[in-house]
């Protein structure tokens, strides 16, 4: 499934429908990313978004709301900000497919960041 986002989404989409399952997956994905990147002692800071092939950070206006949310989720987990993390989880859409799409964006963000970093 390497690089096949559609197949990856379809493989895990049944799990996305369960909010608690989605929360658990997000925690695991974030923790694996934090460990791999060496961010265990992260401190709150500004978020930056990049796209494959870009020369630098994207302006926030070019970042989808889902990707903004995913970045904030990852940052909250990295700095162990439970209140922010919980608020972001509460902000997930109520409709299961929509929530699944947002949850999937965390996985896409983690994988993309790892690919861009070469780690």
What pLDDT is recorded for position 69? Answer: 93
**Among candidate residues 11, 19, 26, 41, the one with its CA nearest the CA of residue 110:** 26
pLDDT in tens, 53-104: 666 777 778 888 998 999 999 999 999 999 999 999 999 888 877 888 888 8
pLDDT confidence bin for 25, thresholds 50/70/90? confident
Q: What average pLDDT does this structure show over 9-18?
A: 60
Q: How many residues does the chain have?
A: 119
pTM over 0.85: no
Q: What average pLDDT does this structure show over 36-60?
A: 76
Which residues 6+ apart lie within 8 Å of 23 measured at CB? 89
CB 65 within 8 A of CB 91: no
């Amino acid at each position: 499934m390497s690089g096949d986002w559609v197949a990856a989404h379809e493989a895990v989409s049944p799990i996305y429908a369960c909010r608690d399952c989605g929360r658990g997956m997000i925690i695991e994905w974030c923790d694996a990313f934090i460990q791999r990147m060496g961010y265990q002692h992260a401190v709150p800071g500004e978020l930056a978004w990049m796209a494959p092939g870009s020369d630098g950070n994207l302006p926030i206006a070019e970042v989808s709301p889902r990707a903004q949310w995913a970045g904030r989720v990852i940052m909250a987990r990295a700095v162990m900000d439970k209140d922010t993390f919980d608020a972001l989880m509460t902000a997930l859409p109520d409709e299961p497919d929509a929530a699944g799409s947002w949850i999937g964006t965390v996985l896409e963000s983690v994988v993309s960041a790892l690919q861009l970093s070469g780690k």
